[in-house]
Structure 1
Amino acid sequence: MKRRVFSLFCLLCVCTAFLTGCWDQRELNKIALVMALGLDKTKGKEEYHVSYEVVNPTEISGKTGTGRTTPITVYSSSGSTIFEALRNGADESPRQLMISHTNVIIVGEELAKEGIHGILDFFERDDEGRLTSNLLIARNTKAEEVLKTLTPIEKVPALAIKGKLDTMVQKLSKGYSVELDEVIRGVLKKGGGPVISGVQLIEGAKSGSKESAIKTATPATVIKISGLGMLKGGKLVGWLNDGAARGAAVINNKLRGSSVSIDCKQNKNGLSIEVRRSKATIKTNIGNHIPTIQLFVKQEGSIGQIFCAIDLKKSKEIRKLEKKWAKETRKEVQKAIVQAQRKHTDIFGFGEALERANKQKWKEVEKDWGDIFAESKVEVHVETRIRRPGMRSIPYLFETE
């Protein structure tokens, strides 16, 4: 009996060694949660200028804040590396900055053109950073200005930007959300690179940083998700806008929902189609060192609105609309391909498809794939299906004629 009690006591002593408290814990009242990071290049210096959007807890707790300050505060610091810049921020913030809750990371356009390899290395190496954070590029402005812009509805601008990005993906798909780990994998592509959505300030950037800017029915400055930035070798080389950006989303199977307008009788863009499903597959063939790429796109959707008299009960009318829709989709996809070829960057993964199909041929063209891609012939085949006419098959305009 004594031996059993002694053995149990020893076992409990051993277990206590694995039940120790968190040796590196940090109290909530000692840390500042960074919801968004902005990365710019210091003007006239080879330094990183890092901005931190920090939440003011008292202003976002409960239904209303104290009203004494804004919901967020933006601090900034500089350093020869991002790591050094973050450490240099310790002399401004009254609390220790914690970046593990960062939702979005915004890179200034000037810095993106110089290259983002250093940025990716830091976030992949740092134990606090999250590779699931969304990466965006600030168009025609600095990342710091975007972080300073206050937003209505969402008190925290970082959450507003994340919400705008998600809504754009689900309803418009003129671009798509890209996380850090996707960008890291993308920069390793031979002859190509990833794409990163842009964020833009509409109207005056300075007025958007004042609290009075959101106390009106129309905000003085609006943050807008705008276009897709094309990267090659880790550097920003160009932008895809509107239809071309949506074409890239179609090719990369990132289209979640969108609206396409086509002509309806004499009315230009008189009919809107809601795209509900989209699937693209790639087939490659290579001969005489120049590959032929075949892209097959299948889409399904429903009719959103009509401004012409057309009987949707007739299958021949539906077929006509499907052909027009397919033509419009093909035009957007081809526009995206042409613009990427002009920049010699394969942002669609055509090279990866060629590697899967013919590894031997891929080894022959791998080193020069960017230039070979620019000369490649891409055949686009689009098949569309209108599954639903909406709540009404025959528009009332048909009855008025």
Structure 2
Amino acid sequence: MMVLFATITGCSNYKELNELSIVLGLGIDYLPDKDMYEVTYQVVNPIENAAKSTGSGTTPVIDFTTTGKTLSEAAFNHANVFSRRNIYSHVQVVVIGEELARKESLNFIFDIFERDANVKVNIPVLVARNSNVKTLLDTLVSIDKIPVRTLEGKLENASLILGEHGDTKIYDVIEDLTNLGSEPAISGITVVGNKKTGITKKNLESMEKTYVALNGIGVFRKGILVGWMDGQKTKSLQIIGNKIKKTFLRIPCDKKHYNTVVINRLRSRSRVDITNNHTEISVEVKAYGFISELLCNKDISKREVLEEYEDKAAQELELEIKEGIRAAQRMKSDVFGFGEILHYSHLRKWNDHSEQWNEVFSQANVTVHASIDIEGVGMRVKPYPY
């Protein structure tokens, strides 16, 4: 009887699929002339993505924008411009405009994500650098039919292979915003090439394509974007956070040539202490890797040569970490979470300095010690002669 009753009653909030639009990407920007939020939605075009459909020649996704004084108002206003009801359970990436990130704290942006149960908080977050959000999401790509999947894929690849960009999720940002001892750090994304061509189908027909690329790490203080960290030093965030999967190091052997060591295992440990108002931050790193390219004409079958390369690789790793910390210190933003370490290890000292921690962090003395074991040299031992 219970089974029959459940079968015939149905659901009160039932909707047909052709009444819904599946949102895959969200972008949030700021319009200074109107003093309003602009929300860009990237939704699936069902005709172009149907398995057996030949398509109509249109784009696989449809982008549209709405505006409002609040994000909720902008979200509700989608009813004025789109014929279907949005569902957000399949959102794959959220992009924040750089102008908005510099104007207003992320607290005012991410409040809605944590309150709304329809949006998952394990979604990657990016900052649109030197471009507005709509242009970035509108840029068509040839390898992936769905542009937001390209953003997600590039972020995942860079995190797994380069170690320069962390896969920062919404819940990571919320945690950093609510903790006094850490600040958010979010990867930037930029449009490369002709932006006007990139949003048209001509971009798919040209060999020289406009595309989107990861570009630096956005550093925040009190929820507001205060600067960018670029280059090799961005690895320091993943190293200190023990999130790095793989990266590489260039080892100089003369003014023109380098060896390359790939790091495939790494563990770091950080300590923070304050004595007589003098703050000390120490970072210890133990890494393992292999030589992937050898342009120095030395015999690596000799242990002393490998030890020389291990020492040089360790020095390069120490330099990258120090430069990353110094960059954050100049921006007075503890994106590494050293304040949290002090909180857990020396609670009383943390309580005495928590309110001005970013200032304390900016003046801290930093020491970094790294050691690297080279465990392999590939299929060839002897270098090519030159």
TM-score, normalized by length of structure 2?
0.95
8 Å contact from structure 2 (residues 182, 338) kept in 1: no
Q: Residue 111 in 1 paired to residue 97 in 2?
A: no
Aligned-pair RMSD on alpha carbons? 1.8
For 1:268 and 1:334, locate their aligned partners in 2 and report how far apart those are by CA, in whole Å: 24
Which amino acid counterpart does residue 369 of structure 1 have in structure 2? W
Q: Which ranges in structure 1 are unaligned for 5 or more consecutive residues?
A: 1-11
Counterpart selection for 1:214 from 179, 200, 204: 204
For 1:224 and 1:126, locate their aligned partners in 2 and report how far apart those are by CA, in whole Å: 30
Cα–Cα, structure 1 residues 18 and 293, in superposed 2: closer, same or farther, change >3 Å? farther
Counterpart selection for 2:146 from 147, 156, 164: 156
Q: Residue 165 in 1 paired to residue 167 in 2?
A: no
Q: Deviations along 1:6-46, whole A, 9 cap, x unmatched?
A: xxxxxx45994799533223221111111111110013122
CA displacement at 1:206 relative to structure 2: 1.5
Q: Residue 292 in 1 paired to residue 280 in 2?
A: yes
Aligned to 2:10: 21
Aligned to 2:63: 74
8 Å contact from structure 2 (residues 181, 338) kept in 1: no
Residue-pair matches, total:
385
Aligned to 1:131: 121
Cα–Cα, structure 1 residues 352 and 215, in superposed 2: closer, same or farther, change >3 Å? same
For 1:256 and 1:67, locate their aligned partners in 2 and report how far apart those are by CA, in whole Å: 42
Aligned to 2:325: 337
8 Å contact from structure 1 (residues 150, 209) kept in 2: yes
Trace 1:360-371 onto structure 2 (pairs within 5 A). Answer: 360-371=348-359
CA displacement at 1:126 relative to structure 2: 0.9
CA displacement at 1:322 relative to structure 2: 0.9
Q: Deviations along 1:275-314, whole A, 9 cap, x unmatched?
A: 1012111112220122211111111111111123222211
For 2:235 and 2:164, locate their aligned partners in 1 and report how far apart those are by CA, in whole Å: 4
8 Å contact from structure 1 (residues 174, 241) kept in 2: no
Counterpart selection for 1:146 from 123, 136, 143: 136
Q: Residue 277 in 1 paired to residue 279 in 2?
A: no
Counterpart selection for 2:177 from 173, 176, 187: 187
Cα–Cα, structure 1 residues 355 and 210, in superposed 2: closer, same or farther, change >3 Å? same
For 2:248 and 2:34, locate their aligned partners in 1 and report how far apart those are by CA, in whole Å: 45
8 Å contact from structure 1 (residues 192, 233) kept in 2: no
Trace 1:318-357 onto structure 2 (pairs within 5 A). Answer: 318-357=306-345
8 Å contact from structure 2 (residues 281, 365) kept in 1: yes
Which amino acid counterpart does residue 374 of structure 2 have in structure 1? I
Q: Residue 59 in 1 paired to residue 48 in 2?
A: yes
Which amino acid counterpart does residue 210 of structure 1 have in structure 2? T
8 Å contact from structure 1 (residues 326, 384) kept in 2: yes
Q: Residue 203 in 1 paired to residue 221 in 2?
A: no
Q: Which ranges in structure 2 are unaligned for 5 or more consecutive residues?
A: none
Aligned to 2:236: 247
Q: Higher Cα Rg: structure 1 or 2?
A: 1
Aligned to 1:36: 25
Q: Deviations along 1:187-214, whole A, 9 cap, x unmatched?
A: 1232541100110111121210001202
SS at match of 1:62: coil
